[in-house]
Amino acid sequence: MRIRGLFYGAAIAALTVTSASATMRIAEDRGGQIGQYLQAFASVRSSGESVVIDGNCLSACTLVLGLVPRERICATERARLGFHAAWMPDRDGRPVTSPLGTQALWSIYPASVRRWINQHGGLSRKMIFMQGHELSGIVPSCDRNPRNQTRSARRLAPQQVRYQSASASGEGR
């Protein structure tokens, strides 16, 4: 029990990184509950961390675009964002669109993202993907910002890792 408490304490400390040189790398994030992402990205915003999108950032993960300042986000050539309407499970566990959740997503996205979503059919149950040239018009390329090109990473949580932070100096390997 004591070891678990120490481990969770270390995970919480890792989530509250205050160094502006730290970088969060997002890769293969399938999303989840909106509230958890609101908290995680608010913490990133207040910590000064930068964010590198380096793979799939789907569903609630895309809230990063509205919660972290644009100048602290970049995307690699592997980055792909996926947008859809928010949903909740019904009594039988089937997904049911949540107008309130969808409105929350919509209100957080920057105007450029909302325009792109509208041009691609809007938020619906169907996932729409932004990548390549379309993504580079919204999120700067990491190739243009050497500060965001990190190689090392450390885990933030004992669960399946969605976010990995790394120091820009390459320490922590």
Is 37 contained in some domain?
Answer: yes
Is 141 among the domain residues?
yes
Give the pLDDT mean for 165-169: 34
pLDDT at 85 over 70: yes
172, part of any domain: no
Residue 39 lies in a domain: yes
CA 109 to chain centroid, in Å, comes to 12
- Average predicted confidence (pLDDT) for the chain: 79
- Specify which residues 154 forms β-bridges with: 165
Residue 173 lies in a domain: no
The answer to whether residue 122 sits within a structural domain is: yes
- Number of domains comprising the chain: 1
> Within a domain: residue 67?
yes
Burial class, 160, CB count within 10 angstroms (exposed 0-12 / middle 13-18 / buried 19+): exposed
The CATH number covering residue 130 comes to 3.90.226
Residue 1 in this model has a pLDDT that exceeds 60: no
Phi, psi of 156 (to 5 degrees): -105, -20
Give the number of other Cβ atoms within 10 Å of residue 66's Cβ: 18
Q: Is the pLDDT reported for residue 142 higher than 60?
A: yes
pLDDT in tens, 9-41: 333 333 334 445 589 999 999 999 999 999 999
The domain in which residue 60 lies consists of 2-167
Where is pLDDT greater, at 129 or 158?
129
Give yes or no for residue 172 having a pLDDT over 90. Answer: no
Q: What is the pLDDT of residue 21?
A: 58
